[in-house]
Each structure stands twice: as structure tokens, then as C-alpha cells.
Structure 1
């Protein structure tokens, strides 16, 4: 058990707006976000030129940087390797890409590295300011800029490609809109009461307006802003050693955040240890509507493998299609509303999962479906922690 995983942490929400230079064409910019228990890393890469070649360069740059940090390299070490390759690309036929990388720790400490790309815009107390005097220093034979700051709740960082800073070039602005122009526009949006997550689209609308109802280049605006994270804790399945039942339940209850039980046997175990009755909240009327239970001290309780399998199948569906009176729909909404999801997975064997009917209906056992569900949740931007007991 790792209760510390659900301790209050600063959550970085990432919202992006992007448009290709020409409608229907491939955008040469690429954005990727990688979340880990320690930090959130967002990379904006701008491949040289436009179209497929630029996109390939941007994807290669961003993906390699993320993979390097995932392998244990510090952000500075990872950027050094990317910059070395970009230096070679100046004289060799290697895809070239500018990039900015923002890594924010759970305590709000942000490090932003930028290479051949407009400087970041910082938001503090609903005021935007860009940093024209970034700290530049050499990495090999190239220069890179670095910014360090602390983000508190409500603060944020905007990363933009040169499609924003050079907007209106040859139209309304002789030297382009500039980062300062974008910064002033963001301040105007904040003064009008717009939420940070709405501003990237507003920036792109303004870029199109000042560029003559078109885009002069591939354009990207990313907002990374700090807010309190929402944690969802799910206990599914009894522990392998029955003697650990009480400790596991007590540890689970000490975790901060919404608490959900998945599994009828697990629900009985929790209710017994809490010394409270377990009441059936909804009676199953069909296979696609598993039962839900009422347990005092628990936010939500429902069926285990059957419910998790069904949520996995609809996780990426439009919420408007969901039924209102279904435990599957309820669990779907809980997953989507959470930022961090902690699974506490019991490894006790369940003979019921070996029943041929389960296989016949395509229901994966608990240990399989939890991993599949975790992968899907990570793809939609959730931080997922798995603990086996």
C-alpha cells in the first residue's frame, strides 16, 4: 500500500489549440504530455517548414525527448542530446525541429527549456508576462534558454510556436505579432474573465484574424495551469492473504480522495471490517446494468470484473450516449472527473473468473482488465498508479 500516492498535489492541466497552415493539411507542430508520479512533462515541437516532413521532424524530436526522460535522463541531459542532433541537422539531411519543454514537479516547481522557439508566457495572479531575458547558456555548440519558476494554484505557463509570434507578418504587423503582443492579448482575455483553459483557442482565433483570415504558419498554443488534483481510489478484490484484510481496508480508507469499491466480495469484506451493513442500491435489471451497493464510509460501490470490463469498453465514448441509471455510467464519470487514479488490486484467486461463461461473454479477469483499463486511462491523460496486495 502506498497512501502517499493520493496525498494532495498540484495538478497540471494541459490544454492545447493547434491549426495547420492550410486547412486539411498536416500540421508541422506536435504536442505531447507525459505524466509520472513525480512530474508532468509537456513538449511543444515545431518542425522546420510545414506539412508531413515538418510533422515527422516534430514527432521525432518530442518523442525522443520524452523517451529520454522516461529512461532516467534529467530534462537538461535530454535536451542536450536533442540539441546535439539539431546541430548536426543544420549541415546534414536530418529532420530539424525547434522545441520547448516544460517539466513541472508535484510541488509546482517548473523548469522550461526552449530551443529556437518563442519564449514562454507566465501567468501569476491572473496577469501574463513573458520573459525576454531568459537565461541562455551553451549546450554543445548550440544555445538553449532556461526558465525556472514556482507555480501555485491558478498560475500557469503558455508555450507557443512561431506561428503565434510571427502572426500578421506582412499584414497588420511589420515584424509579426510577437510574444509581447500575444502576452497583451492574454492579459485582455484574463481581464474579461476568461478561464485559462479557454484562452488557447482565443489566441488561435486572434492569430487567424490578424493574418488575414488564414494562418501564416502552423500554429500552436498550449496552456499548462496549476490546480488542485482530484484523486480517485479504487479497491477491487480481496488481498491474497486473508489475514491482511483489515490492514488493507484501513490503509485504503486513510487514502485521501474519492473511495470506490469494485466487487461484491470486496464490498462484503469492507462492510464487515467497518461493522456496517451493505445495502443494494440498484437492483440489476440486465447484464449491462451491474448492481451498485451502499456502504457507509464509502463513496461508491459496485460490481467488480463485469463493471470494469464494461467501463473499459465505453471509456472513450461520448458521455451523451450513456444511460443515466447505470453503475457503469457512474464509474465512467468518476474516471473522467479524476486526475489521479489509484488502483488497489487484490490478488486473491476468484474461482468465478475461471467459469467458461465469463470467457464466452468476453469478460477479462480482474488482473487483466485493470491493466487494460490503466493503459486506456493513461492515453486520455490520467495519472494511474497500480498497487497489488
Structure 2
């Protein structure tokens, strides 16, 4: 495969140990155009101390690996940084690191966590593991090449041990989880579905009183999911035809934002623009329709609401699942979902300024629309999306 062929779709969820307000497990994900870095850490014990240990571990590992550090240096830094437990005389957080390049090359580093589950074509496969010692710690290391629809599932020992001494004498156990994964994972199964099922069973086995912090994450290899957005008319009306043609030729889904922009696209495609008067949400203007375009919305108001929803998802104020199953599928909700589900997003921004969108507090060359789009681009980049912006 050529470079930048693969993307990753990731979902993770944790259950706190019963009675604890903070989780001793932590996940950090960093995506760039070249690679995905996934770090999971399980802090020693539970509660505040475990949370601090796990947070330190994930932050150190993710930041150092992002900057190109070797795994040896990363592990040494983690060991040197974490405080020592006075009682057990040990100071560490177990961790699992998964690095995936855009060409499919994958490295898995595991220190004292359960082995990852590698699923291809619905089967859990063995992967070669090498052992090496770094600063007195035995690190397990695997290197494989991934294909589209491959899935890697990472679990903490809280998942594997679910039910110990209660419903199941020896806990759920790795082999049983592997068998279950083979039953539920198909080519079209999403990471969120895998994680939700595993977490639900774990909670049931613990009878909703988890004996340990329990975390599950699923990483799926997918092909680029492309979305193209045209927002705003070109500064020069003579460019309308070329800009619309360029927009239509781009592979992937097509979104048009703005009334004037929609009229330009409809005219150049020789298709009718069908407007709706149905206000699904009173705060969001209705959706319109152009044959061949996946979504047609109003401009600034809808984009502003979309930015608000994206910020809420990123900050954790609302869960992705909540948005995906939103009862009111207004234009902003639909747009937010399409952007979240995309991996590669191309913005085609028209620089013609609507006087109604000009704010005297902004510089003369910056309209409210442009400011909102900048906000959307920034939050999508933080989510790990691959963004390109063209202005006309």
C-alpha cells in the first residue's frame, strides 16, 4: 500500500473500581498524518494515586513517542519519573502502547498488561512476541503489518478478572474474551460496538460493583472516509464554475453550507434547490436538498451550532453515542456526525463576505463565518482528522 493509505477508528471506555470517584486507568491517543499513537496505562492500586500514576505514564509516553523518542528512552523516563510506593517498594504503572503508521506498520509494546487481542477476518490470531529488558523491566514487543478491517482490542486486567470470586471463580479470562470477540466482530463492526458489549458484560460479571478499574479499547483499521465541505461563495463570481466543478470532482461525501452557496452549486449543476420549512430544532435552520449533494445547510447559524456540538463531544460533556442516537436530526447534528465519522475533510471556503456576518470586533478581513470555520477546523484537528483548506 502507498503512504497514507490507512486510518484508525478508536473507541475506549472505563469502569471505575466500586466506591472510587477517579479511575486508575488512563488512555491517551495522538493522531498525525503519519501515525496513530495509542497509550493505555493502569496505575498501581486504585483511586487518586493510581489515577496520577496512569496519567503521568500516558502523558510521558504519548508526548515522547510523538516527538520521535525510542521506546527504550520512553520506558526509562517513565520509570525514573513515577514515585515509589512506600508499602510495596515499587513504583510503576503497567502500560500498553500501540503505534500504527499510515502504511499499516504496527508496533505493540506491553508491560505487565494482558496481551492485546488481534482480530483479522473474525478470528483472534496469535502475533509474534519478543521479550527484552529495559532498566530492569521485561517489555513484550510485537511488530506486524495491518490490513483494512483489522481490529486490535486492548483491555486492563480488570476486564480479564471480572467475576473473580463471584459469578466466575477464575474471572472472565483472556481465552473466554477471545472466543466472545470472534462471535461479535464482523467486518462492519464498529469499535464503539465492541467496547460497549465488553464493558456491559464486565459490569454484569462484577454485579455492577467493579472490584478493579476496568478499561477496554478497540482500534480498527479503516480506509480514508472523505468529506468535502463548500462554504461561502468565491470572492470573484467568475470563479463559481471552476470552484463548483473542483468540489464535485473530489472523492467522498459532499456538504454545502450557506444559502447563496447552495444556489451557486444548484445553478452550476443544473439541479433544483429544494428548501424545507421544517424546523426540527427551533435554533437550527432547516435542511435543504440538491440532487447529488449529501447535505445542504444554512451557513453561519448551522456552523456555529455544529462547532458547539463538536466542542461538547471533545470535552466529554456529551457522549458520541448520545449524538449518534439523537432524536432530533437537525442540520447541525447531521453535520457534526458526518465530520466526526470522517477521517479526511476538505474545506472549500469562499471569501465573499456577507455584510450580515461582519462583526466590528473582528479584523476587517475576518468574518464571523470564517471565525467559526477556523474553530471547526481546530477542533477537528484535535480529534485527529486530516484537514485541508482551500480558499477562493
- Give the alignment's TM-score, normalised by structure 1: 0.77
Greater mean alpha carbon deviation, residues 201-210 or residues 148-157: 201-210
Q: What residue number does 2:373 align with? A: 370
User: Structure 1 residue 55: deviation in Å?
Assistant: 0.8
User: Structure 1 residue 323: deviation in Å?
Assistant: 4.3
Q: What residue number does 1:49 align with? A: 45
> What CA distance in whole angstroms lies between the structure 2 residues aligned with 1:242 and 1:64?
51
Contact 2:53 2:82 in 1 (8 A): no
Q: 103, 112, 119: which is aligned to 1:116?
A: 112
User: Structure 1 residue 73: deviation in Å?
Assistant: 1.3
User: Structure 1 residue 128: deviation in Å?
Assistant: 1.4
Contact 1:42 1:102 in 2 (8 A): yes
Q: Does structure 1 residue 354 correspond to structure 2 residue 346?
A: no
Q: 17, 24, 40: which is aligned to 1:28?
A: 24
Q: What residue number does 2:246 align with? A: 251
Q: What residue number does 1:4 align with? A: none
User: Structure 1 residue 117: deviation in Å?
Assistant: 1.9
Q: Does structure 1 residue 151 correspond to structure 2 residue 152?
A: no
| Structure 2 unaligned residues grouped into runs of 5+ | 313-317
Q: Does structure 1 residue 279 correspond to structure 2 residue 269?
A: no
Contact 2:23 2:213 in 1 (8 A): yes
User: Structure 1 residue 141: deviation in Å?
Assistant: 5.0
Contact 1:130 1:183 in 2 (8 A): no
User: Structure 1 residue 24: deviation in Å?
Assistant: 4.5
> What CA distance in whole angstroms lies between the structure 1 residues aligned with 2:217 and 2:64?
22
Q: Does structure 1 residue 60 correspond to structure 2 residue 56?
A: yes
| Structure 1 unaligned residues grouped into runs of 5+ | 1-6
Q: What residue number does 2:78 align with? A: 86
Q: Does structure 1 residue 263 correspond to structure 2 residue 258?
A: yes
Kindly provide the CA deviation profile for residues 214-257 of structure 1, in whole angstroms up to 9, marking residues without a partner as x: 43321212121234443221111244566655444333222211
Equivalent pairs, count: 369
> What CA distance in whole angstroms lies between the structure 2 residues aligned with 1:365 and 1:282?
25
> What CA distance in whole angstroms lies between the structure 1 residues aligned with 2:247 and 2:175?
49
Structure 1 pair 219–321 and aligned structure 2 pair: CA distance change class (3 A): closer
User: Structure 1 residue 288: deviation in Å?
Assistant: 3.5
Q: What residue number does 2:96 align with? A: 100
User: Structure 1 residue 166: deviation in Å?
Assistant: 4.4
Q: What residue number does 1:387 align with? A: 389
User: Structure 1 residue 385: deviation in Å?
Assistant: 1.0
User: In angstroms, what is the RMSD of aligned CA positions?
Assistant: 3.9
Q: 207, 220, 236: which is aligned to 2:215?
A: 220
Greater mean alpha carbon deviation, residues 56-65 or residues 340-349: 340-349
User: Structure 1 residue 157: deviation in Å?
Assistant: 0.7
> What CA distance in whole angstroms lies between the structure 1 residues aligned with 2:123 and 2:373?
42
> What CA distance in whole angstroms lies between the structure 1 residues aligned with 2:247 and 2:22?
47
> What CA distance in whole angstroms lies between the structure 2 residues aligned with 1:265 and 1:213?
54
Structure 1 pair 294–182 and aligned structure 2 pair: CA distance change class (3 A): closer
Q: Residue 57 of structure 1 aligns to a residue in which SS? A: helix
Structure 1 pair 346–116 and aligned structure 2 pair: CA distance change class (3 A): farther
> What CA distance in whole angstroms lies between the structure 1 residues aligned with 2:75 and 2:7?
29
Q: What residue number does 2:315 align with? A: none
> What CA distance in whole angstroms lies between the structure 1 residues aligned with 2:269 and 2:117?
54
User: Structure 1 residue 365: deviation in Å?
Assistant: 0.9
Q: 331, 334, 356: which is aligned to 2:335?
A: 331
Structure 1 pair 354–322 and aligned structure 2 pair: CA distance change class (3 A): farther
Q: Residue 371 of structure 2 aligns to a residue in which SS? A: helix
- Give the alignment's TM-score, normalised by structure 2: 0.77
User: Structure 1 residue 153: deviation in Å?
Assistant: 3.4
> What CA distance in whole angstroms lies between the structure 2 residues aligned with 1:322 and 1:342?
28
User: Structure 1 residue 158: deviation in Å?
Assistant: 1.1
Q: Residue 148 of structure 1 aligns to a residue in which SS? A: strand
User: Structure 1 residue 51: deviation in Å?
Assistant: 0.6
